[in-house]
Structure 1
Amino acid sequence: MTGRSHNLLLLASRLLLAAALLPTGVARALNVSGFALTLAGAGVPMPNGVATAAVVVQVFGPLAVVLGVLPAISGVALAAFAAAMAVLLHPFWQFSGANFLTERALFLADLGLAGGFLLYALAGPGGWSWQGWRRREPGESRAAARAAPAKAAGRGTRAPSSGRKPARAAA
């Protein structure tokens, strides 16, 4: 896969992951007290504080993902958030019949979302992101930016070795 298509796929993935949380986060931000009541009904301690923290994570986390800012931190935080919300808001084990199936599907969807955020944390945001932009030096061309990691790793700068240590010269 070329660098351009790789970066395009990572950008599309980041946009899709953010689209899964951001609309709900904005809706919850407009009605934090209603979300706090939902959490209180689920038995969450300090529902107002948890609701406020959840709204901050659910609004600013996806924005960080879209921009590619701090991918390891934002990816792990959003994965933990999605898993926690799955357990708190979709306890399918407490239901039966059609409600059981619905809640289980929502629970598994949230866990899948958590997996996507973990993959983002591991893979990084790609070159078309804040992090990719920050890696380039001012005035550096795109070709030079791509060649820099190869030079830093020592590739292409010396002949391949046979794996043996060089023999010492006789004195």
Structure 2
Amino acid sequence: MTGRAQDGLLFLARLLLAAALLPTGVARALNVSGFAVTLAATGLPSPNAVATAAVIVQVFGPVALILGVLPRLSGLALAVFVGVMAVLLHPFWQFSGPSAVAERTLMLADFGLAGGFLIYAMTGPGRWSWQGWRQGARASAGAGKASAKAPATSSAAARGGSKPKRAPGRNPARAAA
């Protein structure tokens, strides 16, 4: 697979994973107290604090995912979030019949999302992301510095001289910075 195709598929995967959480996160952000009531019904202590933290993760996590910011941290945080919420919101063992099957299916779907977030945390976002842009900017800046230094060393070699000797101590590039 070519690099462009792989980067495109990683971007598409990030969009699809974010689409699984972001709409619900926005809806919960508009009604945090209602979500806190849902959490309180599960017997969770401090439902307001948990609901607020969950909304923050569920809104800002997918945004970080789409942009490709801090992939290891955001991927792990989203995987843990989805796994914990799956257990809290879909306790299939408390149901019987079709309700238990539906809750188990929802829990397994959430665990599948958690797996996707873990894969993202391990593979990274690809070049079509904030991280990829930063790495590309660093590489082009490094290439610019290398090409700027190349004529100076080749001209010294062309004159028959050897490489200029550096004074012991700090690297001149570091000393200027």
Smaller-chain TM-score range? Answer: 0.7 to 0.9
Letter in 1 for 2:19: A
Seen in structure 2, the aligned counterparts of structure 1 residues 110 and 139 have a Cα distance that, compared at 3 Å, is closer
- Unpaired runs of at least 5, structure 1: 145-171
Q: Which of structures 1 and 2 has the bigger CA Rg?
A: 2
The aligned residue for residue 17 of structure 1 is 17
The aligned residue for residue 43 of structure 2 is 43
**TM-score w.r.t. length of structure 2:** 0.78
Match runs of 1:106-117 below 5 Å: 106-117=106-117
Aligned pair 1:73/2:73, yes or no?
yes
The aligned residue for residue 101 of structure 2 is 101
Q: CA deviation at 1:51?
A: 0.1
Letter in 1 for 2:88: L
- Unpaired runs of at least 5, structure 2: 144-177
Aligned counterparts of 1:137 and 1:40: Cα–Cα separation in 2: 48
The aligned residue for residue 148 of structure 2 is none
Aligned pair 1:56/2:56, yes or no?
yes
Q: CA deviation at 1:140?
A: 2.6
Q: CA deviation at 1:137?
A: 2.7
Cα deviation digits, residues 6-59 of structure 1 (max 9, x gap): 000000000000000000000000000000000000011100000000000000
Aligned counterparts of 2:77 and 2:138: Cα–Cα separation in 1: 31
The aligned residue for residue 147 of structure 2 is none
Aligned counterparts of 2:80 and 2:137: Cα–Cα separation in 1: 34
| RMSD over equivalenced CA pairs, Å | 1.4
Q: CA deviation at 1:138?
A: 6.2
Cα deviation digits, residues 121-151 of structure 1 (max 9, x gap): 000000000000000236939xx7xxxxxxx
How many residue pairs match? The answer is 142
Aligned counterparts of 1:4 and 1:138: Cα–Cα separation in 2: 19
Aligned counterparts of 2:98 and 2:31: Cα–Cα separation in 1: 28
Aligned counterparts of 1:103 and 1:56: Cα–Cα separation in 2: 25
| Paired residue secondary structure (1:45) | coil
Aligned counterparts of 1:138 and 1:9: Cα–Cα separation in 2: 24
Aligned counterparts of 2:16 and 2:69: Cα–Cα separation in 1: 16
Cα deviation digits, residues 84-115 of structure 1 (max 9, x gap): 00000000011000100110000000000000
Seen in structure 2, the aligned counterparts of structure 1 residues 106 and 139 have a Cα distance that, compared at 3 Å, is closer
Q: CA deviation at 1:64?
A: 0.2
The structure 1 segments of at least 4 consecutive aligned residues displaced by more than 3 Å after TM superposition are: none
